[in-house]
Structure 1
Amino acid sequence: MDTFRDQDAAAEYARGLLRGERIRLRAATDEDLAEVERWWNDPETAVLQQASILPRPGGAVNDLLRSWSANASPGSVGFAVEEEADGSLAGHVALWGGAAPQRCGTLAVVLGPYARGRGLGTDAVRTLVRYGFAELGLHRIELRAWAFNKRARAAYRRSGFIEEGRRRDALFHAGRFHDEILMSVLAHEFPHA
């Protein structure tokens, strides 16, 4: 059975595929990757995403981001997040590991400091998840977040993710242990398809 009525319907689908309400996903440039690497190595970003606040040597993070952004593996993609209003780089998002037969991708997002708390992260996550289900054919998308990263967890919930588990005392920062939250969304649960 055909999904599209005609080529106009197909074009409309394609036009909106990488666009959110206020962002668009696009191929990452060398300049984008260098900027995201600076954010990644910034302690205020690192504490929200990494097990250790440990700046990586020049190029190491860039190589990782470049591999995510190559879009060369089935079920794995990475994109720069661009704010539509002014074309500025807001972040980077990636899905990896979504190959058959499991079709379960893992989501990662890095936002620039100016983009946080403005709804751009929620928009980027929704757009990438929609892409993962509609274009990659994923069945499940999962992620991990530190319990103290309440803003990110709220954005994930607004994007349809549910908490399905907790790794107790899995992270050590600031002299104490913190939980890691496991969250996921299934294709049939996603409210923004």
Structure 2
Amino acid sequence: MSSFWTGKRVRLRGVEPADWEVFQSFTEHSADQRAVDRLYPPRSAAWFQEATAARAKQPSTDLDLAIESLETGELVGSLSTHGVDRRAGRFGYGIGIGHQHQRNGYAAEAVVLLLRYMFGEQRMHKCEAKVYEFNEPSLRLHRSLGFTEEGRLRAHEFLAGRHWDAVLLGMTLPEFVARWELPQV
């Protein structure tokens, strides 16, 4: 029997306190930091140890998952949900893949696994994502998965000396099942 959380390239798992060094290494690429969130000042090993230990406890209802390569067993990134609205059936998510692991299909497979869970097991109806206008690889990824651009927040974030638009993308359950399968029992 295979795990629901395992695809052909990746396995989603809980964040472990020992993951702190890999998460710290992901911050060494400034463009990736900006693409996912923003550029942060350097942080100590102690900070990463504490922050990763807190993530490992998953104190909220949001998911915070590590993305592991099946081929190498390496931690290649993470993804998390946010803004889960059970009444409306809506949620958002974010994903980050370490620079050296990008363009290997890890993000696409991890997102499909997450969507399959949220739509098929958590009764969600819509997923929302926000991508900065300069992050063309992420915009291509989302469009290839079936997300639709729903709008823009103009001059929404300040990064690298200027304001950038945030592109709002969404996918509904019917749009998901038109491309991907729901979980099998």
1:137 equivalent in alignment to 2:136: no
Q: 1:70 to 1:160 in 2, by over 3 A?
A: farther
Say if 2:16 and 2:53, in contact at 8 Å, map to a contact too. Answer: no
What is the match of residue 28 of structure 1?
15
Q: 1:132 to 1:98 in 2, by over 3 A?
A: same
Give the TM-score taking structure 2 as reference length: 0.83
Give the TM-score taking structure 1 as reference length: 0.80
Q: 1:102 to 1:25 in 2, by over 3 A?
A: same
Tell me which of 126, 145, 148 is aligned to 1:162.
148
Tell me which of 89, 97, 100 is aligned to 1:103.
89
Q: Which runs of structure 2 are paired with 1:1-193 in the superposition (5 Å)?
A: 15-40=2-27, 42-51=29-38, 53-55=39-41, 57-58=43-44, 69-74=56-61, 76-190=62-176, 191-192=179-180, 193=182
Q: Name structure 2 gaps, 5 residues minimum.
A: none
Say if 2:19 and 2:52, in contact at 8 Å, map to a contact too. Answer: no
For 2:56 and 2:174, how far apart are their aligned partners in 1?
Answer: 27
1:47 is paired with a residue whose SS is helix
For 1:63 and 1:106, how far apart are their aligned partners in 2?
Answer: 25
Say if 1:133 and 1:139, in contact at 8 Å, map to a contact too. Answer: yes
1:132 is paired with a residue whose SS is helix
Aligned length in residues: 178
For 1:108 and 1:123, how far apart are their aligned partners in 2?
Answer: 14
Cα RMSD (Å):
2.3
Any idea what the Cα deviations from partners look like across 1:46-66, whole Å, max 9, x if unmatched? 121224x22264465666665
